């Protein structure tokens, strides 16, 4: 490179200086300084005994976060969507019937992945933000007799939490495996993998665990593992082949792919931050901040999109008041105090704000700070005038 080109490069690519953001969106969340420190530790090789231990530590720590003793935990080298695809390509063989509870964007994504993988998909449609009663869940599964059932535990696009006990019980009665999307719940709200009866769950690192995005922690029940071991055709995906990944991560440690070392360092530290707080205390902190948040929102004359008993405590969907352009409110928050929140999309486009109160930001002071700035931005856009 000539000297001139070097000058050009300095002009075109200024030093990395990310603006400070308060990440009050649905994820990524703020990251604990300990996690940033772990990220920048010197890497070792992906077959180094030290790294193998880091991977195994993550697996062990994930058991507490997921609430599983008997299940196997595993980390996929891709984001939450890679975890979803891993669940589909490994447990939904082409031609398999999968029954999906379809009440938001991520059940649509699950549908799309299942279809691309050659599955027969039947859907129980509900409006975005609604949930299913135990009776509805049972009736659907008994009628459809699927081989696999899929539902979204905490639906990021709507803010609704779907209890899984009745779904899992009915699925097991029908001999079906249950895939549960826990992308927004893990680490922030109770997942209770074993108690609920989930068979395959996947999540991400950048929401309830407050780690940067990049990995997908999964859990699999003994039933799921047994099914996987008995599967005779290889999954269509080699990269997401859970038999091979499980062997690399927990059994032989034989090379499968070069794991993202730094991201595993970060995940281990994020899980230790969770463990140091105590997972139940962490849930409780999020619950408390959620209540304060809702109280503040209602005091401003605003309303929540999801009925009280079905809300995700870490991710709030607030209805956009009539006459307000939600995109302008978001831009004002980002450009002013540097607060990121998200809008709705699909059927909820323009209708809700999606506001996460997760991880380091889930404190009473931060909630008050947010409510104050949110109120100012709404007012500036004409709310309450």
Pick 38 or 148: Cβ nearer a second copy: 38
Measured distance CA(334)–CA(385) in Å, rounded = 23
Site string for a second copy, 49-88 (x = CB under 8 A): -x---x--x--xx---------------xxxxxx-xx---
d(CA 153, CA 313): 12
- Our CB check for a second copy shows the closer of 119 and 170 to be 119
Strand partners, 339: 22
- Judged by beta carbon, residue 202 or residue 227, the one nearer a second copy is 202
If one asks whether residue 250 binds a second copy (CB under 8 A), the answer comes out as no
Spell out the alpha helix ranges (H) of the chain. Answer: 3-12, 33-39, 49-66, 80-91, 105-116, 134-144, 165-173, 193-196, 222-230, 242-246, 261-277, 279-299, 326-335, 364-380
Stretch that binds a second copy, among 144-152, 270-278, 284-292, 302-310 (CB under 8 A): 270-278
Residue 262 interacts with a second copy (CB under 8 A): yes or no:
yes
Is the Cβ–Cβ distance between 187 and 193 less than 8 Å? no
266 touching a second copy, by CB under 8 A: yes
Stretch that binds a second copy, among 167-175, 222-230, 275-283, 305-313 (CB under 8 A): 275-283
CB 221 within 8 A of CB 71: yes
257 scored as a contact of a second copy (CB under 8 A): yes
Taking the complex as a whole, the smallest distance from the CB of residue 28 to a second copy amounts, in Å, to 6
267 binds a second copy (CB under 8 A): no
Task: Give the shortest CB-62-to-a second copy separation in angstroms.
Answer: 12
342: part of which helix (H) or strand (E)? strand 342-343
Does 277 engage in binding with a second copy (CB under 8 A)? Answer: yes
The encoded tokens of residue 92 equal 């939904």
H or E element, residue 178: strand 177-181
- Note whether 319 binds a second copy by CB under 8 A: no
SS3 category, 319: strand
Number of residues this chain uses to bind a second copy (CB under 8 A): 85
∠ CA 335-340-344, rounded to 5° = 115
3-state DSSP of 195-243: HHCCCEEECCCCCCCCCCCCCEEEEECHHHHHHHHHCCCCCCCCCCCHH
Q: Determine if 325 is a binding residue for a second copy (CB under 8 A).
A: no
Between 260 and 321, CB nearer to a second copy: 260
| Closest separation in Å from C-beta 258 to a second copy | 5
User: Strand, coil or helix: what is 179?
Assistant: strand
Applying CB under 8 A, which of residues 72, 87, 113, 294 lies at the interface with a second copy?
113
Q: Which is nearer to a second copy, 37 or 134 (CB)?
A: 37
Judged by CB under 8 A, the stretch of 126-134, 162-170, 251-259, 314-322 that binds a second copy is 251-259
Segment contacting a second copy by CB under 8 A, of 224-232, 262-270, 309-317, 373-381:
262-270
| 284 scored as a contact of a second copy (CB under 8 A) | no
| Positions 187 through 226 that interact with a second copy (CB under 8 A) | 204, 206, 212-214
CA-closest candidate to residue 374, choices 299, 266, 272:
299
What residues from 148 to 187 belong to the interface with a second copy (CB under 8 A)? none
- The reply to whether 41 sits near a second copy by the rule CB under 8 A is yes
Give yes or no for residue 28 binding a second copy (CB under 8 A): yes
**CB-based burial label for 1 (10 Å; 0-12, 13-18, 19+):** exposed
Q: Is 236 in the site for a second copy (CB under 8 A)?
A: yes
User: 343 in the Ramachandran plot: left (φ > 0), alpha (ψ -120 to 50) or beta?
Assistant: beta
């Amino acid at each position: 490179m000539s000297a001139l080109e070097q000058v050009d490069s300095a002009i075109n690519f200024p030093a990395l200086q990310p603006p400070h953001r308060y990440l009050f969106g649905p994820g990524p969340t703020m990251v604990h300084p300990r996690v940033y420190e772990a990220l920048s530790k010197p890497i070792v090789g992906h077959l180094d005994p030290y790294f193998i231990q880091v991977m195994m530590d993550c697996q062990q720590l994930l058991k507490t976060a997921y609430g599983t003793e008997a299940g196997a935990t595993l980390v996929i080298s891709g984001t939450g969507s890679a975890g979803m695809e891993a669940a589909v390509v490994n447990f939904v063989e082409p031609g398999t019937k999968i029954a999906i509870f379809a009440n938001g964007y991520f059940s649509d994504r699950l549908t799309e992945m299942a279809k691309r993988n050659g599955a027969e998909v039947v859907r129980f449609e509900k409006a975005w933000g609604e949930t299913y009663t135990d009776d509805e869940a049972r009736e659907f599964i008994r009628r459809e007799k699927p081989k696999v059932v899929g539902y979204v535990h905490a639906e990021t696009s709507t803010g609704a939490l779907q209890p899984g006990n009745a779904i899992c019980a009915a699925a097991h009665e029908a001999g079906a495996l249950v895939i549960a999307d826990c992308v927004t719940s893990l680490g922030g709200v109770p997942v209770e993998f074993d108690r609920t009866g989930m068979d395959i769950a996947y999540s991400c690192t950048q929401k309830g665990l407050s780690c940067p995005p990049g990995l997908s922690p999964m859990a699999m029940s003994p039933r799921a593992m047994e099914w996987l071991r008995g599967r005779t055709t290889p999954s269509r995906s080699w990269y997401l082949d859970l038999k091979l990944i499980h062997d690399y991560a927990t059994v032989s440690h034989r090379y499968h792919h070069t794991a993202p070392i730094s991201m595993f360092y970060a995940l281990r530290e994020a899980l230790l931050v969770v463990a140091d707080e105590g997972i139940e205390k962490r849930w409780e902190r999020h619950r408390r901040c959620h209540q304060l948040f809702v109280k503040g929102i209602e005091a401003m004359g605003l309303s929540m999109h999801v009925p009280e008993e079905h809300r995700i405590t870490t991710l709030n969907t607030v209805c956009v008041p009539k006459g307000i352009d939600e995109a302008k409110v978001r831009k004002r928050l980002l450009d002013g105090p540097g607060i990121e929140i998200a809008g709705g999309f699909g059927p909820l486009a323009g209708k809700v704000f999606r506001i996460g109160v997760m991880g380091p930001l889930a404190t009473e002071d931060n909630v008050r700070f947010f409510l104050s700035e949110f109120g100012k931005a709404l007012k500036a856009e004409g709310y309450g005038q």
